[in-house]
Amino acid sequence: MTRWIKIIAAFFTSLTGLACFLILLILGVIVGDILVHGWPHLSWEFVSTAPSADLAHGGIFPAIFGTVALVLIMTILVVPLGVAAAVYLHEYARQDSKLVHLVRLALQNLAGVPAIVFGLFGLGLFVRFCGGSIDDLLFGGKLTIGQPCILWAASTLAVLTLPTVVVATEEALRAVPRNYREAAYAMGATRWQVVRYVVLPQSVSGILTGGILAISRGTGDVAPILFTGAAYYLAHLPTKLNDQFMTLGYHTYVLTTQSPDVEATKPVLYSTALVLLVLTFALNFAAVLIRSKIRRKLRQT
Amino acid sequence: MPTDSQLLGHRPRYVEKSIELFIRSSGFIVIGSLVLIFVFVAKEALPLLTSSTVHEEVTIPSMLLPRTDNTESLPPDPTLGQKMDAWFPWQPVSTKPKYSLLPLVIGTLKVTFVALLIAIPIAIAAAIFTSEFAPQGVREFIKPAVEILAGIPSVVVGFFALMVLATFLQDTFGLLMRLNAITAGVALSLAVIPIVYTVAEDALSAVPQTFRDGSHALGANRWQTAWRVAMPAAMPGVFAACVLGAGRAIGETMIVLMSSGNAATCSFDPTESFRTFSATIAAELGDAPHGSPHYHVLFFIGAFLFIITFVLNMIGHWYVARVRDRLAGKAKRKMTDPTPEAVPELEG
Amino acid sequence: MKPILKLDRFSAWYGDAPALRDVSLGVYPNEILGVIGPAGGGKTTFLRSLNRMNDLVLNFRMDGTLAYHAIDLYRSAIDIATLRRRLGMVFAVPVPLPGSITHNLALGPRMGGAADDLQARIEKSLRAAYLWEEVKDRLDLSALSLSGGQQQRLCLARTLMLEPEVLLLDEPCSGLDPISTAKIEEALQALKKDVTVILVTNNVMQASRVADRTAFFLQGKLVEVGPTSQIFVNPKEKVTHDYISGRFG
């Protein structure tokens, strides 16, 4: 009887192990497939030149440039706001207040809103409402910034990645020992001085982690930028805030689904996906490294 | 030596006050963002309820009820499937636009069902293995791997599904259509697994070790302990994991957009192409003229998606909080928690 | 002589739990006031009430008067940051902030907006804390690399950088070796001519060595206060005698 129990136990245990193995397997297959098919076509020329008109040849430099520019603007928008919100939640607000509870609830829900709804939101609020109002007020109604462009796409992504930055920053703030703050108060510091001189300098790595994770999310998410500024073939690089732009993710999507000749564009497509994947992984890896360094330091204190 | 007059009264601190104003208002900005998302999406959907010009083409009842006036396209002696397609058509781009939501509902449900059917068992089993059986070294390998899987952009997953998975599944199972709910469901599960795994594993790890020790002391082996002690204790969290996973599946756009075949039919057959809510918005908004009924319908779908995922998220997070509360006071302090000090809690 | 700090029927609670009951006490300029008593007696609450550090505790309540230079600290509109610079505090566990020794010492003046003549003031404070000789060549090194005794003296020097009028020390030598303890006690004796010192201590012998007057707190009440020699040799209350002689503690 006990042997039968042991057999059942072993069976189910190995099933769970199999599940883990399956996950690792599929991860390996995806990464491996993209690596194998994308690597041959990768070259310095590929990442530094523009694509040809039929998208089947040439490089993806404009897509890389657009991705970087988009993410840069997004970071400038999201990091100050995210850090401020985290500082508010952890350093300023009374922990039992209704407002704090609401803000945390809002953050959790923001993180769960579908990316395409963010795209609609970006279109409705930023492009139409904000852009349209700016056009009416500053440009006499001329269509300047009330159209899909890099500014609004970056703003949309900033709202999308806000929870990421806030959570990472709060984790960093929490790691600053309580008595550091006490010592600063006892030296006659105001609350902001405690944050500025003691808490924030200690939290820089955590904020950096949050920023990197946000960047990683911003490079890969295509749905929010579908209608807020992404384009698949532009003659010029985006240089003004109201320019449209190309990105690696959108380029991958278009090449996959709208390519006239799938076989011809396959090498370019795979290499584009590879570049996107490598970029995303590198960013995530950097964030994980910094985060584990922080956690190790925390365990020592 | 500072004088008493300096003690009374305050030094002007303008820069500091404005920074603090920004900090204090950031909380409102966060709440405001969520509210604005719904407001601005619903705002563009509102004409569906209020505008009479829109009502000429489409109304909310017309999106839900069958249309019996579309039967001229039917062949003689139609099957149930063909009849359904005629009664509930989604054809916004045609001479006589028709906006029945049923194909989209069925499509969304189809792929979500397949994705959850695959993702939930795998993710939960993996979570059980990670928290109950795996040695520390293996644990430190699996968790990052799942994080990596979560980090793969959904457009890349969709790309993989279209390029590799579709052909593989079609060859293996002899499927008629290359892009169908099974292909899309498998691809979608890749995005759902990390969420279900992470939340379930957190819930299982939060179960106090004393529970397991007590079970072992009663003579149970590790599997019995895992299945009959740890799992039930973590059940709210595991349930939450599934709910959050479902929310993710319903809201996912790119994967489905690229691997579903984008055919709005009412068929429940998972081997056929289909359309979901999110993919419909993504595929059609670009072509819908601003202000047209089609445009408003798409925003309506967006508002609807928002509400569904909002409700699912609230349910999921409520259960996660329940796990936390349930085990508070009994749970062993995790490494990342600072130990409580004798000094009372400092006010924030 | 008028007291620099005067408590008049001062009471304090954390939520519903009383921490201080009807404490009436005066602290006089340029004295070292020792505060002794068993744990939970209210010594730390008393000390932290003086520079309003208890404001940081969520459910702190007070009643009565606490006057500093005749200003009611809890009822007047005072600038708390300035108050805490006048009444500088040193904690039981040394809290060196991450950064160099110079950074730690310069922080107080920088935040207070009076960051001139730093080098001279740094040397003066380190000398007063009996730490100058040991670190004068290592000012740029991390404060965390100092030993426990050195770190505590650094915290003392850090507080002295604010040029306080009163020094509040909360069991500063607990956990320190005898040599560091002796150095700090020496420093306090020398500082007496410039500042008033209130020294909370668990070590009754330390009070007898260092304090001019001693106050004995028990369960939130001020049992007795008087010249140290009188308290130790001929205390008015029996319970004071019992505590000092180690009958309980």
One DSSP character per residue, B12-67 reads: --HHHHHHHHHHHHHHHHHHHHHHHHHHHHHHHHTHHHH-HHHHHH--HHHHHS--
| C107 → closest Cβ in A179, A187, A190 | A187
Chain-chain contact of A92 with B317 (C-beta, under 8 angstroms)? no
Q: C216 has which bridge partners? A: C36, C224
**Rounded Cα gap, residues B27 and A122, in angstroms:** 20
3-state secondary structure of C215: strand
Task: Report yes or no: B160 and A30 within 8 Å, Cβ to Cβ.
Answer: yes
Interface of B with C (CB under 8 A): 1-2, 4, 6-11, 344-347
**For residue B195, what are the contacts with CB-CB under 8 A and spacing of at least 6?**
B123, B150, B241, B244, B245, B248
Tell me which residue of C85, C93, C95, C91 sits closest to C48, measured CA to CA: C91
Contact partners for chain B, using 3 or more CB pairs closer than 8 A, are: A, C
By residue count, chain C amounts to 249
**For residue B168, what are the contacts with CB-CB under 8 A and spacing of at least 6?**
none
Tell me which residue of C218, C213, C210, C207 sits closest to C247, measured CA to CA: C218
In degrees, rounded to 5, the angle at the alpha carbon of residue B174 between the alpha carbons of residues B170 and B177 is 55
Residue B259 belongs to domain with CATH number: 1.10.3720.10
Below-50 pLDDT ranges, chain B: 1-2, 330-348
| A186 → closest Cβ in C53, C58, C110 | C53
Query: What residues in B contact C56, CB-CB < 8 Å?
Result: 346-347
Query: What residues in B contact A6, CB-CB < 8 Å?
Result: 221
3-state secondary structure of C222: strand
Chain-chain contact of C97 with A193 (C-beta, under 8 angstroms)? no
The tens place of each residue's pLDDT in chain C, 249 residues long, gives 889 999 999 999 998 999 999 999 999 999 999 999 998 889 999 999 999 999 988 889 999 999 999 889 998 888 899 999 999 999 999 999 998 999 999 999 998 888 788 889 999 999 999 999 999 898 988 998 999 999 999 999 999 999 999 999 999 998 899 999 999 999 999 999 999 999 999 889 999 999 999 999 999 999 999 999 999 998 888 889 888 888 887
- B346 to chain C, minimum CA–CA distance in Å? 5
Query: What residues in B contact C14, CB-CB < 8 Å?
Result: 344
Tokens encoding C137: 């060549």
Work out the end-to-end distance of chain A between its first and last CA atoms, rounded to an integer number of angstroms: 51
Tokens encoding B145: 């791997």
Any idea which residue has 């020792």 for tokens? C34
Which pLDDT score is estimated for B174? 81
Chain-chain contact of C53 with A185 (C-beta, under 8 angstroms)? yes
Asked if the structure places residue A247 within a domain, the reply is yes
- The answer, for C39 touching chain B at a CB cutoff of 8 Å, is no
Q: Which domain holds residue B203?
A: 98-327
Question: In the structure, what pLDDT confidence band is assigned to residue A298 with cuts at 50, 70 and 90?
Answer: low
**Rounded Cα gap, residues A79 and A103, in angstroms:** 17
Strand order in the sheet with C166-170: C87-90, C166-170, C196-200, C32-36, C213-218, C221-227
Tens of pLDDT, residues A258-287:
877 778 888 888 999 999 999 999 998 888
Q: What is the DSSP letter of C83?
A: H
- Picking from B17, B34, B334 by the largest number of A CB atoms within 10 A of its own CB, the best residue to mutate is B34
| Stronger pLDDT, A63 or B82, i.e. the higher one | A63
Asked if the structure places residue A11 within a domain, the reply is no
Helices of type H across chain A: 2-38, 44-48, 61-87, 98-112, 115-121, 132-138, 150-174, 178-186, 191-194, 200-220, 248-258, 262-300
Task: Report yes or no: B20 and B26 within 8 Å, Cβ to Cβ.
Answer: no
Chain-chain contact of B223 with A8 (C-beta, under 8 angstroms)? yes
- Average pLDDT of chain A is 89
Asked if the structure places residue B51 within a domain, the reply is no
Chain-chain contact of C95 with A183 (C-beta, under 8 angstroms)? yes
Chain-chain contact of C91 with A180 (C-beta, under 8 angstroms)? no
Asked if the structure places residue B16 within a domain, the reply is no
Residue A133 belongs to domain with CATH number: 1.10.3720.10
**For residue C237, what are the contacts with CB-CB under 8 A and spacing of at least 6?**
C216, C223, C224
Asked if the structure places residue A191 within a domain, the reply is yes
Looking at chain B from residue 291 to 320, which residues have their Cβ under 8 Å from any Cβ of chain A?
298-299, 302, 305-306, 309-310, 312-314, 317
pLDDT at A295 over 80: no
Any idea which residue has 């305050």 for tokens? B10
Tokens encoding C133: 């000789």
Residue of A nearest to C97 (CA): A180
Query: What residues in A contact B126, CB-CB < 8 Å?
Result: 16, 19-20, 22-23
**Rounded Cα gap, residues C222 and C21, in angstroms:** 8
Which pLDDT score is estimated for A78? 96
**Rounded Cα gap, residues A199 and A92, in angstroms:** 12
Q: Which domain holds residue A61?
A: 48-300
pLDDT at A301 over 70: no
Tokens encoding B68: 């019996």
Asked if the structure places residue B187 within a domain, the reply is yes
- The answer, for C107 touching chain A at a CB cutoff of 8 Å, is yes
**Rounded Cα gap, residues A134 and A140, in angstroms:** 9
Query: What residues in A contact C52, CB-CB < 8 Å?
Result: none
Chain-chain contact of B163 with A256 (C-beta, under 8 angstroms)? yes
- C229 to chain A, minimum CA–CA distance in Å? 32
Tens of pLDDT, residues C214-246:
999 999 999 999 999 999 998 888 889 888 888
| C81 → closest Cβ in A180, A182, A188 | A188
Domain count, chain A: 1
Residue of B nearest to C39 (CA): B342
**Rounded Cα gap, residues A270 and A265, in angstroms:** 9
Tens of pLDDT, residues A132-190:
898 888 888 788 888 899 999 999 999 999 999 999 999 899 989 999 999 999 999 99
Asked if the structure places residue B348 within a domain, the reply is no
Under 8 Å CB pairs connecting chains B and C tally to: 44
Domain count, chain B: 1
Asked if the structure places residue A135 within a domain, the reply is yes
Which domains, from first to last, does chain C contain? Answer: 32-53+80-244 (3.40.50.300)
Q: What is the helix (H) or strand (E) element at residue B145, kind and residue range?
A: helix B136-151
